[in-house]
Amino acid sequence: MEDSVLLAQVRTKAQTWLGNEYDLETRQKVQALLDKEDTTDLIESFYKDLEFGTGGLRGIMGVGSNRMNIYTVGAATQGLANYLKKEFAGKKQISVVIGHDCRNNSRLFAEKSADIFSANGIRVYLFPALRPTPEISYAIRKLGCQSGICITASHNPKEYNGYKAYWSDGAQVIAPHDKNIIAEVNQISSVKDINFKAQKQLIELLDERIDEAYIKDLLSLSLSGDAIKRHRDIKIVYTPIHGTGITLIPKALKTLGFENIIGVPEQEVISGDFPTVVSPNPEEAAALKMAVEKAIATGADLVMASDPDADRIGAAVRNENGEFILLNGNQTLLIFLYYLITRWKELDRLTGKEYVVKTIVSSELIKTVAQRNNIRLFDCYTGFKWIADVMRQNENKLTYIGGGEESYGFLAEDFVRDKDSVSACMLLAEIAAWAKDKDKTVYELLQDIYVEYGYSKEIGISVVRPGKTGAEEIETMMKNFREHPQTELAGSNVIFIKDYANLKGTDTIENEQVTLNMPTTSNVLQYLAADGTKVSIRPSGTEPKIKFYIEIHSKVASRAEIAAADAAADIKIQEVRKSLGI
């Protein structure tokens, strides 16, 4: 489409936002965009509608159809309300839970959503202030609601906000509900279709009883109470990175029995501007810098961080030299599942019907640990809604031990259906006490897992391509990787290619194709090499980037061999990157 045609269409669309059905502030901001000589912001704000996708909404805040604001959030809520009224037509009172994180406008979006649900005759249980995302999932199940939403953009930059929709089991929506909700949202063609006239008697503010019930249920997960009592004085630094974790995580750790929780006061300030970090992402070293400095100053053993909506965990532990190193998501996932499986075994809780879950881009070392312990492993797509789907399919058939993904999310309990940094922080603290009982640090525990099951190094690389042109470039990159597949990875022949976009697996040695057993298609491509190297490629579903996951495997006979294996893996990763052109 020529720029002049696009601009004309964008201007026409923007002018509809000048009508009296929009509030004065919105109209003034839209007019300012129309008057601006540089049309870049105008085009980015209106060139498309912010899509209510299978994960809900996520976008930059501002005026316009392609931005997060009370009208795009309103359309999403009205569409969801319409679907709930159809799906539960015979139910006397439909109810939903609404929660939100620390971001700018999150409370506003939550309250507007509450107004719209109530205007449609739906009872709303609204958290009185910010709360961890997993607690919204917990409350939906606890209160017997049909749906729920959380206003959050997770660990995205401060300009973003988002809208996650949940179903009655506390999991984010999947088929058929996701597509059906999207269809309803797409039918909201005008702001006049949105009912903002709240029925306040249908909106109930939740109190501390939900918090107390949640923490009480989390305490039931503990497997090493005696170790916690012996090492209750372990020094743990925790930072919420300005987010919702501050509301529950320090309290949960203390209730579990840990007495020496050290905060980072500057990052305990609740703020959607995230003033002490460039990005509030616990995957990034810079986000944990202040917490690590605090740990060094106080002689702490362990550093933990949660992202703004407190569903992801970041951690740092001391290495053999006493220096803090950051654990990546694959390492925490490995430690968590190793510990849970080991303790279930030691406590004689295994019956042969237990299972764990990981995502297809997470470390294959998890599969080795599960197989050697006769635990069933399920692989699923990235995103905790797929882990929750595995849990749903196995309800009352198999017993869930735990599940997680490389992107720093883990779930240790089955009474929540989304990743949970509250329980993950409690679990990691418990593991530190358990390891100390064996005269090990968490770092040494990880090393011993590598010695027993094999060494693995994983790295994620994100290539950012923002805006309309960026989305087109990412699409072209995926097309090129499919049309010109890799034949080798760092000198090792590619022996199997998995294309989840068409659910076809190709054995390059036998030149045979198989059908991949997955619930639906997904835009993910994987290359598996003869030496165990794995590369996964996928566009992000929530950010303007394409992600590459590289995984290298080797064997080590002792802790002393790990440093050499790590150095060799680094070299190999660079060779793989070169072959991929990234």
Catalytic residue annotation: 154
Q: Where are the alpha helices (DSSP H) in 365-466?
A: 365-372, 384-393, 421-437, 442-453
Neighbours of 580 (CB within 10 A): 16
Q: Which token pair is 416? A: 């929540």
Q: Which token pair is 559? A: 């802790």
Sign of the C-alpha dihedral computed for residues 340, 346, 347 and 351 taken in this order: positive
**DSSP structure string for 179-240:** HHHHHHHHT--SGGGS-----GGGEEE--HHHHHHHHHHHHTT-S-HHHHHHTTT--EEEE-
- The secondary structure element, H or E, covering residue 504 is strand 504-507
d(CA 276, CA 266) in angstroms, rounded, equals 7
Q: Which amino acid is at 386?
A: W
Q: Which token pair is 394? A: 């196995």
Let me know the angle formed at the C-alpha of 32 by 26 and 36, rounded to the nearest 5 degrees: 150
Q: Are strands 354-359 and 324-327 parallel, antiparallel or unpaired?
A: unpaired
Burial of 412 (0-12, 13-18, 19+ CB in 10 A): buried
User: 């849990």: which residue's tokens?
Assistant: 391
- The secondary structure element, H or E, covering residue 498 is strand 492-499
d(CA 326, CA 329) in angstroms, rounded, equals 10
443-460 burial code (b ≥16 CB/10 A, e <16): bbbbbbbbbebbbbbbbb
d(CA 236, CA 253) in angstroms, rounded, equals 9
